A and B are shown apart, each in its own frame.
Chain A
Amino acid sequence: MSESAELTGPRTRIPSEGVAETAASERDIGVKVGDNLVEVKNLTVKFGGLLAMDDVSFNIKRGEILGLIGPNGAGKTTCFNAMTGVYKPTSGQVLLEGKLLNGMKQHKITRAGLARTFQNIRLFGEMTALENVVVGLDARHKTSVVGALLRLPRHIREEKSAIERGMALLEFVGIADQAATLSRHLPYGSQRRLEIARALATDPKVLCLDEPAAGFNPAEKEELMQLIRIIRDDGYTVLLIEHDMKLVMGVTDRIVVLEFGKKIADNIPSVIREDPKVVSAYLGEPEDDFA
């Protein structure tokens, strides 16, 4: 009782204290800060005759927030899906710490260290917030079915630590007070935050966020960006898909721009802002205005 009260009690956790040491104490990343953690090489995805991604290459460096932007239908989510194993790339490679991810099962890719959230929220509706997070934590658990059946010591140990870590993660994203609520009863903003907590629970090396601020008002967006920065400062690498140019400029270290499945730019935000190709992709070609 006293132990768990301490988790949720009046102690207001300053988020910048970080969540890494509680949620992901055994992280071991084989790449130095600033080196390429993820390499996407010549990734091409075809759906029948439609070329959804055409020869896209970029890197994600450890410790950065990389923005992946582009107009609607540019192939951002397709890129995510191809990286996380939802789609099989037609050609090209995705490497994490130099290890090829192509062809791996999705759950293995997650355990290799690539976690994601969904653009359209996909929580486990009939589970509480805490249970949702613990499903993520289970990715690192080693209890076997027999172990669970007979409640062997490892199971008990993991169950206990899961509650602790799960609560810490919920607290980190700011929804600890709703831990016992079914996730489909949570308010929209909390659901988005829960998605992030669940993805963080899998102890990722790279956290891929697919439009995490969709449907947020400007103030909420700002809060969320703050949270993403803290996550990065905690030692996570973040790949962020975002629609809103202004927002993405404020939070990212580097931006990759896609248009019609092709990469059209890859640079720091201030350069991207001035890039005529990016501007025209978002605002349309000047000629079009006259046409």
Chain B
Amino acid sequence: MSMSDGPKPLHTAKSEQIDEDREAVGTPPGSSSAARRKGKLFGAWSDRWAALPRQKQWLFLIVVVALAYLLPVINPPFISTEPGNDFPLACQLMAIYALVAVGLNIVIGYAGLLDLGYIAFFAVGSYTAAMLTSPDSAFIKIPYLWTIPVAMAVTMFVGVLLGLPTLRLRGDYLAIVTLGFGEIVRILATIIPAMKGQVGFQNVGHPPGVGADGIPIFANSNGTPWYWLTLTILIVILFLVGNLERSRVGRSWIAIREDEDAAETMGVPTFKYKVWAFAMGAGIGGLAGALMGGQVGFVNNQKFDVVTSILFVAAVVLGGAGNKVGAIIGGALVAYIPLRFTAVAEYKFLIFGLALCLIMIYRSHGLLAARQQLLAYGQKAYAAVKKSNDAKNAQPATNLGEELSK
């Protein structure tokens, strides 16, 4: 049972600040104002967010989504990565990383399984897209858009294949096995002739459509349409992941993260749900890989190294493990920071490292603290509880008032 301590590092460290965030979200006004006094900017934000009426929340979200879509078109001066890097392409990379982080967040943030080889699923997705569309490949060719569901199915299968033998391990042991798996896929790509090692696959397919000037809409150098496609997929995935989160699946994952043995005792088939977490995470990773392969147009074994894999984990932890919005922000930042500071290219990892240090010091629990909504219809019940509690609390106060006035 001591082994169950394994997956915890990601969330035992979270203690303090998360407490305050929590209090800021769900408790009487007194405690949340205390949190605000302590200068917990994000706590106050989520407090205010929760206080907004539903329509305003939607309105706000629509504005955010619209801005996200318009980002490469506006190309805001200070935020832009130009002239060093093409901004629409940077946006595309940010969206890809965000998608990866959302997928990995299921594995690390929800189910608490530390997966250090997530790049493997990304690679499998990329290779699936490349091998089914590139003229360099000996396989049958299908239209690019069809490779997206195929890549998801293949990576999910690979995820299950990896999960079945390894998910009996816990904590550090699982981390080491997944780290090895990440390398295995890269090395296989090197030694299997059909996967063409460093030579790789050129002219990977892209979605159909030709612009007025005869250049394909989804050309490799044209970031904006790719970004819009990825962003749309990201939004759909977010809705689906949200559905899972607010169901017995999400609850099972969190229960496994919190206390695997207790979860099993409460009737959660822990092994099954851990495999599902792996499969879901893998599917999203493969999807991101397929999009990346299509946009870059070239897939070889060089891009799927351990460093990138660790970067993915960094994205999840940075954003706040267990929070899907946090994962998006984390993923986008991890992609953005090195691209933004290429003007000082030699120092980009220094800047990146400093940014990580600052976040670890001031937001030890990630930018957004973990908070899952695990009940599809919980808000009403909570509101009713709060109402009746407030009514109860109000009672003695008035009595006291009467006492004093006497």
**From residue 360 to 406 of chain B, which have CB atoms closer than 8 A to chain A?**
370, 374-378, 380-389, 391-392
Query: What distance in Å separates the Cβ of A192 from its nearest Cβ neighbour in chain B?
Result: 14
Q: Is A14 an interface residue (CB 8 A)?
A: no
Given known pairs A10-B388, A124-B254, the reply for A145 and B249 (CB within 8 Å) is yes
Tell me the minimal C-beta distance from B28 to chain A in angstroms. Answer: 11
Contact assessment for A149 and B240 in the assembled complex, using a CB-CB cutoff below 8 Å? yes
- Also in contact, A145 and B276, with CB within 8 A (given A107-B268, A134-B375, A179-B381): yes
Residues of B within 8 Å of A178, CB to CB, are 385
Give B220-271 interface residues, CB cut-off 8 Å to A.
240, 243-244, 246-252, 254-255, 257-259, 261-270
Task: Output the nearest chain B residue to A116 by Cβ-Cβ distance.
Answer: B265
- Tell me which residues across on chain B come within 8 A of A9, comparing CB atoms: 384, 388
A25 at the interface (CB under 8 A from B): no
Contact A130 B254 (CB under 8 A): no
Residues of A within 8 A of B370 (CB): 126
A78 at the interface (CB under 8 A from B): no
**Which A residues are CB-close (under 8 A) to B255?**
124, 127, 135
Residue A125 at the chain B interface, CB threshold 8 Å: yes
Q: Which residues of B contact A131 (CB under 8 A)?
A: 251, 254, 374-375, 378
Residues 1-20 of chain A, each 1 if its beta carbon lies under 8 Å from chain B, else 0: 10111011110000000000
Bound together, the chains give a CA A139 to CA B269 distance in angstroms of 9
Q: How far, in whole Å, are A159 and B378 apart by their CA atoms in the complex? A: 9
* Given A5-B387, A180-B385, A106-B265 contact (CB < 8 Å): yes
- Bitwise interface map of B from 310 to 331 toward A, beta carbon under 8 Å scored 1, else 0: 0000000000001000000000
The CA of A135 and the CA of B268, in the complex, are separated in Å by: 8
A123, chain B: closest CB distance, angstroms? 7
Is B135 in the interface zone, CB < 8 Å from A? no
CB pair B380 A163 closer than 8 Å? yes
On whether the beta carbons of B251 and A138 are closer than 8 Å, the reply is yes
The contact of A5 among B258, B268, B384, by CB within 8 Å, is B384
Q: A122 and B264 in contact (CB under 8 A), knowing A10-B388, A159-B247?
A: no
B248 x A141 contact (CB < 8 A)? yes
User: Which one of A118, A134, A202 lies within 8 Å of B251 (CB-CB)?
Assistant: A134
Residues of A within 8 A of B380 (CB): 1, 3-4, 163
- Across the interface, name the chain B residue whose C-beta is closest to A124: B258
Q: B247 contacts A155, CB within 8 Å?
A: yes
Cβ contact within 8 Å between B385 and A135:
no
Q: How many angstroms from the CA of A124 to the CA of B153 in the assembled complex? A: 32
Is A37 located at the chain interface by the 8 A CB criterion? no
Within 8 A of B (CB), among A108-141: 110-111, 115-116, 118, 122-128, 130-131, 134-136, 138-141
A241 to chain B, nearest CB (A): 15
What is the CA–CA distance of A145 and B251 in the complex, to the nearest angstrom? 12
Task: Check B249–A148 contact: CB distance below 8 A.
Answer: yes
Q: Which residues of A contact B267 (CB under 8 A)?
A: 107, 110-111, 136, 138-140, 202
Q: Chain A 158-185, CB within 8 Å of chain B: the 1/0 string?
A: 1110110011000000001111111001
| A159 with B377, Cβ < 8 A, contacts A138-B248, A177-B388 known | yes
Q: Could you say which residues of chain A place their CB within 8 Å of the CB of B259?
A: 122-125
- A86, A135, A136, A138: most-surrounded residue (chain B CB, <10 A): A135
Q: Is B11 an interface residue (CB 8 A)?
A: yes
Could you tell me if B375 and A159 are in contact, using CB atoms closer than 8 angstroms?
yes
A223 to B50 CA separation, bound complex (whole angstroms): 37
Q: Is B26 an interface residue (CB 8 A)?
A: yes
The minimal Cβ–Cβ distance linking A196 to chain B, given in whole angstroms, is 12
Measured between beta carbons, the chain B residues less than 8 angstroms from A27 are none
Residues of A within 8 A of B263 (CB): 124, 135
Residues on B with C-beta less than 8 A from A243 are none
Q: Is the Cβ of A106 less than 8 Å from the Cβ of B385? A: no
A124 to B259, CA, bound (A): 6
At the interface, yes or no: B22 with Cβ under 8 Å from chain A? yes
Known: A106-B265, A135-B268. A126 touches B258 (CB 8 A): yes
Which of A106, A136, A199 gathers the greatest number of chain B CB atoms within 10 Å? A106
Contacts of A141 in B (CB 8 A): 248
Instruction: Check A7 against B384 for contact (C-beta < 8 Å).
Output: yes
Q: 14 interchain pairs (CB within 8 A)? A: A107-B264, A118-B265, A122-B261, A123-B258, A124-B255, A126-B370, A134-B248, A135-B266, A136-B267, A145-B249, A151-B376, A177-B389, A179-B385, A185-B19
The 8 closest A-B pairs by CB, nearest first: A139-B267, A148-B247, A124-B258, A110-B267, A159-B376, A122-B262, A180-B382, A138-B248
Q: A: which residues have CB within 8 A of B?
A: 1, 3-5, 7-10, 84, 86, 105-107, 110-111, 115-116, 118, 122-128, 130-131, 134-136, 138-141, 143, 145, 148-151, 155-156, 158-160, 162-163, 166-167, 176-182, 185, 198-199, 202
Q: A124-B254, A126-B370 are in contact. List 7 more A-B contacts (CB 8 A).
A: A9-B388, A107-B269, A110-B267, A124-B262, A128-B382, A136-B267, A148-B250
